[in-house]
């Protein structure tokens, strides 16, 4: 997990087409903690939402075989139950509750040590990939995190992974789904999409997987 580059999902541990389970470890140090907060580092709630959105986004991408990109459309009923600090090991799950008419909705949550940290309903808007570079990046990232069915695909760059490598030179575009200088994760990308909120119906790959 690299907070400053919106690389929120480290690996997929289970996927059955209807649900996805992923894991991530919060870094011990990050520029994000310098301001949030001095002496009391905490993962911002918006990045926890991004993490859930990205998990939902990977669920959608796994279902459609990476043929279309999920972008974050809305977040409902988000609840934050506990603080999340450096070194926390996160278990992220997303369960599909709707898929149709260009939108997908998922019930998502993050737990750590058996305790629920947060949950939300994520809506994603599913659209054709706007650029071949984005599709290639998502395919590579999918292989890196172990999304079933894509491991071994030759894909050019990874939104998340690449973001982490090349982003050093370019800061991520946190806002939108989008992504860091290098490509973002679904959620991150989704986020961007989310910013431009589509009519209700929704997305999330979560935004691109956020």
- What is the pairing mode between strands 19-25 and 11-15? antiparallel
Residue 80 has pLDDT above 60, yes or no: yes
Task: Please compute the mean of the pLDDT values over residues 168-176 and round it to a whole number.
Answer: 33
Dihedral through CA 52, CA 122, CA 72, CA 100, nearest 10? 130
* pLDDT attached to residue 107: 98
Query: To which residue do tokens 């997929």 refer?
Result: 12
Residue 54's φ and ψ, nearest 5 degrees, are -65, -40
* Res. 195 pLDDT band, cuts 50 70 90: very low
* pLDDT attached to residue 193: 41
Residue 148's φ and ψ, nearest 5 degrees, are -55, 140
* Res. 187 pLDDT band, cuts 50 70 90: low
The neighbour count for residue 210, using CB atoms within 10 Å, is: 40
* Res. 200 pLDDT band, cuts 50 70 90: very low
Residue 134 has pLDDT above 90, yes or no: yes
**Among 4-13, 67-76, 141-150, 193-202, the least confident range:** 193-202
3-class secondary-structure state, position 142: helix
3-class secondary-structure state, position 116: strand
pLDDT tens for residues 152-166? 444 333 333 333 333
* pLDDT attached to residue 160: 36
pLDDT tens for residues 37-77? 999 999 999 999 999 999 999 999 999 999 999 999 999 99
The whole-model pTM stands at 0.75
Longest Cα–Cα distance in the chain:
47
d(CA 36, CA 32): 6
Q: Is the peptide bond before 37 cis (omega within 30 degrees of 0)?
A: yes
d(CA 120, CA 202): 14
Task: Please compute the mean of the pLDDT values over residues 98-123 and round it to a whole number.
Answer: 97
Greater confidence (39 vs 167) lies with 39
Give the CA radius of gyration of the chain. 15
**Candidate list 36, 82, 95, 98, residue with the active-site label:** 36
Residue 70's φ and ψ, nearest 5 degrees, are -90, 135
Residue 136's φ and ψ, nearest 5 degrees, are -65, -40
d(CA 208, CA 206): 5
First to last CA, the chain: 14
pLDDT tens for residues 84-97? 999 999 999 999 99
| Residue 156 DSSP code | S
* pLDDT attached to residue 149: 77
36 noted as active-site residue: yes
Q: What percent of the chain has pLDDT over 90?
A: 69
Residue 52's φ and ψ, nearest 5 degrees, are -65, -40
Is residue 173 within 8 A of residue 154, CB to CB? The reply is no
Residue 108 has pLDDT above 50, yes or no: yes
């Amino acid at each position: 997990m690299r907070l400053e580059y919106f690389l929120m999902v480290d690996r997929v541990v289970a996927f059955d087409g209807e649900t996805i389970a992923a894991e991530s470890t919060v870094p011990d140090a990050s520029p994000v903690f310098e301001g949030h907060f001095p002496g009391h580092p905490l993962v911002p709630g918006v990045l926890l939402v991004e993490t859930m959105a990205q998990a939902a986004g990977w669920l959608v991408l796994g279902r459609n075989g990476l043929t279309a990109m999920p972008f974050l459309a809305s977040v409902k009923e988000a609840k934050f139950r506990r603080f999340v600090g450096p070194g926390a090991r996160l278990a992220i799950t997303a369960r599909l509750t709707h898929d149709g008419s260009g939108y997908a909705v998922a019930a998502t949550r993050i737990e750590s040590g058996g305790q629920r940290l947060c949950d939300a309903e994520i809506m994603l808007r599913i659209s054709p990939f706007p650029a071949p570079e984005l599709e290639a990046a998502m395919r590579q990232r999918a292989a890196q995190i172990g999304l079933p069915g894509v491991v071994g695909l030759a894909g050019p760059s990874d939104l998340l992974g690449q973001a982490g490598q090349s982003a050093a030179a370019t800061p991520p575009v946190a806002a939108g789904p989008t992504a860091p200088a290098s490509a973002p994760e679904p959620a991150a990308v989704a986020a961007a999409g989310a910013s431009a909120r589509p009519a209700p119906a929704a997305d999330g790959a979560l935004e691109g997987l956020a």
